[in-house]
Amino acid sequence: MKKVLKVLAAFLAVALLAGAGGLLVLRAKYPPERLKAIALEKIREATGREVQLESAHIGWNGLIASGFAMAEPGGFAAGRFLEVRSLRVMPRVLPLLRGHVEVSDLVIEGVRCRIVKKADGTLNVSTIGKTAAPAGGARPAKKASAAAPAPKGAATEPSAPPSNWEVDRLRVVDADVVYEDKAAKSRVHAGPLQASARGLRPDGLFPIAIAVAFVMENAGAPAASGSADYKGSANLGGFSPDKFQLKMEPLKLVYQGLELDASGEIKGTATPDIKLALKIPKQPASHWKALSLPAGLEPPALAARLEAEQTAEGIDVKSLKADAGASKGPGGTSIPPLALDVSAFVGKAKTTIRRCEVAAGELKLSASGSLASAPGKPASADLRVKTNVFSLSDLAALAPQLAAYKLQGKASFDLRASGAASSPALSGSAELKGVSAEAQGQKLAGVDGSGTFTPSSIAVQAAGKLNGGDLKLSLTAADYQTKPNIQLNGSLSALDLTKLPPPAPKEKGSAPAPAPARKGDAPAGEGRPEAARPGEAASAPVRTSGKITIGKISHPKFNASQAQLAWNLNQLQDIGKLSGVTEFKIGNGNFDNLAELGSTHPLVQVLLAPIILLQKIAGAIRIPLFPKFDKVNFQEITGNYVFENGLMSVKESHMNAEHLANAQMTGTAHPGNDKVNLRIALKVFKLPTPIGVTVTGQLSDPKTNVDLTTIPGVDKLGEPVKQLLDGLFKKR
């Protein structure tokens, strides 16, 4: 703006000369060639650029100049910065007699201006107003009487523009302005531009109006277009940057179909003080296409107010407030009214958030802190975010992806983030009250709880209902970002296995091939862990321990009155490396086809692997006294397993089924590799001593071998009878 005013002042200086006498006298005193030379000299002095002018003359309708051009830095060989097809100035004669320039009409037509920001960040307008010693045939400037002449080639500031002038009416017709950013590979074309002003003077407000269309182009993106219609007033402030003033009453802007109105005031140009109000009326979603909003979102009417000041250190956002009405979101969700209140300072290397408050329905969020980004250093953050006690249904309305979880209840959070902005350290606390949610068929209801967390630990306490059963949980996790150590204790009054989600299907061919065995290694599946895939980073080891008590378990294939599970396991992230101990006890129930149940519930498959195996081999042994274990009523099932590198050693697995059998199992199994090596001592009802059975091979397809010496009276039978019994016990 300051550069443009300098050019305008040069033209007004010429107009001042035109007012030394009447127009007729001036026409004789300043013939076209002399007037042209004076105009060129004054403009060169004011701008420091090479200029051209086709013609200039004084007629009955004022001073008329045409064919004006100003060169780029470096002269016309570098191109044209500014062109004006014609300029007409109509001065009033009588005020000139008092030394005051009054122009009744100033018309500028056919303006073409090209502003370029070079790759090094400099602008081609930055040298306007810096004059150098004349060269190349330009008329030398007159020496001042009291000052020594400037050294040859030295740059000097132009004299202050005249202040005793006024223009009744200014019109700019058919103007085009192009701005290019070479580094960003972007271009803005503003035009055609029409502008008008009345009562234009160097100091004091005067009305002004501007209408312009524009096209914005960015490398790799479609062009965007729009228009601006400005009505307001301006104050040139005596050409002082600190006193410049611009009022918008209002500015109507259209961008890619989106309509908005802005009003307010800007004071100063070097360090502007800004007060703006922005309004976006409710309009069709198609008008928002430039912002690529989610499908189905119907934006409401928006209003914002900004008070800011630019300083040498940065931008001081004293207040930014915004409001949006209720609206509809994707899938017909309801979005509550929104409000924003921000106060911050945006510095060159650090942004300080003094206050940031967001309200969405009952949800009220406040944030404060700082974001730093010094040159050559990674960005860092130190932020605190806190909420009131709010409704989770409001949160689901703001994040449509949460709608499927049917969140209800109340919650509050107090969070702190510090350190590297890309991966800050988090700490804080959370509270839940009466929370309900659904996911994968699981229903939580009436959950009350609290939790705290630091960069190295998490602690959670919660109580409520899971699928209708009373649930209590206590969880702690230490070193959860590096070597998670998770402790979980809890109780559930009732567990319906049919409501648990099925396991995720394994991708075909996703299982890694075992590494080649070295001499002395255990065979794959018998204690030796499988190798990681080439180039695959080892995941962090996970340790977990705890105890869970369940009051009642139900399923069409399995029922139990109570169960207890305790564990202390390491390398939980990889079943091939799993180590530790697990104990469980299940009381008073019945089961049918456990293999079918285990196929859909991996935990059941692991814990009851020996019992599932017993069911499988029972159907393969052909002897009248040997039970089939197809339908079993049991009084107790217990297990004590030790894991080492994925190998499960059965220290004790016991089932007491009154009036049927009492089974005890020992040995090893590897669920991950489908391997088994177990010995079963089966005390069949009415037999005096247990029958010994050895099970080897695969869990899915086991091989059995009955120890005939454990059958009472077999040792007294002849060899042919023993061979017959041996055949009866073979697997079918």
538-586 per-position pLDDT tens digit: 567 888 999 999 999 888 878 888 889 899 988 877 777 888 999 989 8
Encode pLDDT of 631-661 as tens digits. 778 888 888 888 888 788 878 878 787 665 5
| Single pTM value for the model | 0.64
More confident residue, 590 or 624: 590
Please provide the average confidence, as pLDDT, over all residues in the chain. Answer: 79
Residue 341 phi, psi dihedral angles, 5° rounding: -140, 115
Average pLDDT over every residue of 346-362:
91
Percent of the chain past pLDDT 90, that is, above it, reads 32
Encode pLDDT of 281-301 as tens digits. 888 877 777 777 777 778 889
More confident residue, 113 or 58: 113
Residue 5 is predicted with a pLDDT of: 53
More confident residue, 600 or 665: 665
Q: Check: CB of residue 643 under 8 Å from CB of residue 577.
A: no
Residue 647 is predicted with a pLDDT of: 82
**Long-range Cβ contact pairs of 396-404 (< 8 A, separation 24 or more):** 396/333, 397/329, 397/333, 397/334, 397/335, 397/336, 397/360, 397/361, 398/335, 398/336, 398/360, 398/363, 400/294, 400/329, 400/330, 400/331, 400/333, 403/331, 403/333, 404/438, 404/439
Q: Check: CB of residue 419 under 8 Å from CB of residue 378.
A: no
Overall residue count recorded for the chain in this entry: 732
d(CA 42, CA 459) in angstroms, rounded, equals 78
The two structure tokens encoding residue 730: 């073979």
> Residue 520 gets which letter from DSSP?
T
| Strand positions, DSSP E, 361-420 | 363-372, 380-387, 390-391, 408-420
CB neighbours of residue 233 within 10 Å:
19
d(CA 531, CA 513) in angstroms, rounded, equals 8
Residue 230 is predicted with a pLDDT of: 93
Please name which of 504, 516, 580 lies closest in space to residue 542, comparing C-alpha atoms: 580
Helix (H, G, I), strand (E, B) or coil at 609: helix
Please name which of 469, 495, 516 lies closest in space to residue 603, comparing C-alpha atoms: 495
> Residue 374 gets which letter from DSSP?
-
